[in-house]
Amino acid sequence: MVQLRRGALGVGIFAACCDAFIVGKQQRKHTPRTAPISAVEFADPLVLGGGAAAVLGLSALTLGKPSDSEAVDDIKEVREYFNTVGFERWNKIYSESDEVNNVQMDIRDGHQQTIDTVLSWVDEKDNGVEGKSVCDLGCGVGSLAIPLAQRGATVSASDISAAMATEAQSRAEAMGVKTASFEANNLESVEGSYDTVTCIDVMIHYPTDKMKDMVQHLASLSSDRLLISFAPKTTQYVILKKIGSLFPGPSKTTRAYLHPESSVREALADAGFTVKRSKLTATSFYFSTLLEATRSA
Ligand code: SAH
């Protein structure tokens, strides 16, 4: 079973590389650019929350430019990406659009599994969000914020990409959801106190040395509970990362970051939170570990 899974992942990585490479080529052909194809774009559609994506991303980081020692403005790049080509692509993945390839479809399924897990947890007795305040950071198109609002939560959702926040707002309006607000904001600038803070598949954009501060900030916003997910850094995925590095592209400068589960747990503990449960969702191209943590007594 394990062997089968590994085999599937190996194929996944290969297909992912090919897919990403094709994406990169198309970009070059059709879109005149002033800068090299961005890292995030290269790994797309594999970047968010996806293990294969993260694996690719990291191998690109190792190989790529700028080097680790050069200053990298991840925030600026992520904002720009998710306001432009990344928005177009991920808006399709996070929808029912037919205009997705098999890789994107697999990522859509994996991501939906993570969302469904969160919803199944909050649907449990005495664990609900009805009448509670929720802050959803990096909300994307509202895939989680909207169903949480439909469950009676008052949701303050935000995303660094204005395009994402606007799309989430219009999806919420179209569904008659009135208890969710959406704004464009860097999660690091969000303030307030909420019963539950959610941050799904966003940590992949945070380098290891910034992850701890990010978790601290999320924790500072939550009076009770955190629901966060990240692409796990395991031996298996590190090996896959190396396989991914066998398929370098000339402009492959993806930055996507894996995190060891132990580091995320440690960051949560330092921030005063105890992990209650975790769930890894793994499809061929999407890997994401979800944690539910509550404020330690
Ligand atoms: N959480 C959503 C979207 C995941 S995609 C969901 O699961 O459906 C990741 C999102 O994080 C993107 O929309 C991206 O714009 C956003 N993001 C990345 N870095 C961010 C930051 N520093 N602050 C706020 N949003 C961020």
Task: Kindly state if the Cβ of 48 falls inside 6 Å of ligand 1.
Answer: yes
Residue 237, pLDDT score:
74
Distance 164 CA to ligand 1 centre (A): 8
**Contact at 8 Å (CB) between 156 and 131?**
no
Bridge partners, 194 (sequence order): 222
> Among 202, 203, 206, 281, which is best to mutate for testing ligand 1, by the most ligand atoms less than 8 A from CB?
202
**Which atom of ligand 1 is least distant from the CA of 90?**
5
What are the start-end ranges of the E strands in the chain?
133-137, 154-159, 180-184, 194-199, 222-230, 273-282, 287-295
Task: Report whether residue 283 contacts ligand 1, using a CB cutoff of 6 Å.
Answer: no
Say what the pLDDT of residue 39 is. 32
Question: So where are the chain's domains?
Answer: 2-295
Ligand 1 atom with least separation from CA of 206 = 19
* Ligand 1 neighbourhood includes 75 CB (under 6 angstroms): yes
Q: What pLDDT digit, counting tens, does each position of 267-283 carry?
A: 999 999 999 999 999 99
Atom of ligand 1 nearest to the CA of 94: 8
Q: How far apart are CA 253 and CA 259, in angstroms?
A: 19
Tokens of 210: 């910034």
Q: For the domain bounded by 2-295, which CATH number is listed?
A: 3.40.50.150
Mean pLDDT by 10 residues, the chain (297 residues): 33 32 31 30 37 36 37 84 94 96 96 98 97 98 98 98 98 98 98 98 94 98 98 82 58 68 98 98 95 95
- In this prediction, residue 68 carries a pLDDT of 42
pLDDT value, residue 193: 98
How far is the centre of ligand 1, averaged over its atoms, from the C-alpha of 240 (Å)? Answer: 24
Nearest residue by C-alpha to atom 7 in ligand 1: 200
Alpha carbon distance 17, 245 (integer Å): 9
Ligand 1 atom, smallest distance to 143 CA: 8
**The pLDDT value given to residue 62:** 31
The pLDDT of residue 74 is 86
Q: pTM here?
A: 0.81
pLDDT digits (tens, 9 = 90+) for 241-258: 667 666 554 333 347 899
**Ligand 1 touching residue 168 (CB < 6 A):** no
Q: Which atom of ligand 1 is nearest to the CA of 115?
A: 7
Instruction: Indicate which atom in ligand 1 lies nearest the CA of residue 214.
Output: 22
How does DSSP assign 133-186, residue by residue?
A: EEEEES-TTTTTHHHHHHTT-EEEEEES-HHHHHHHHHHHHHTT--SEEEEE--
Whole-number Å distance, alpha carbon 7 to ligand 1 midpoint, is 30
Measured CA to CA, the distance from residue 124 to residue 143 in angstroms comes to 19
What confidence score (pLDDT) does residue 129 get? 98
Ligand 1 pocket: which of 77, 80, 82 to mutate (most atoms within 8 A of CB):
82
Mutate to test the pocket of ligand 1, among 40, 44, 78 (most ligand atoms within 8 A of CB): 78
Q: Terminus-to-terminus CA distance in the chain, angstroms?
A: 40
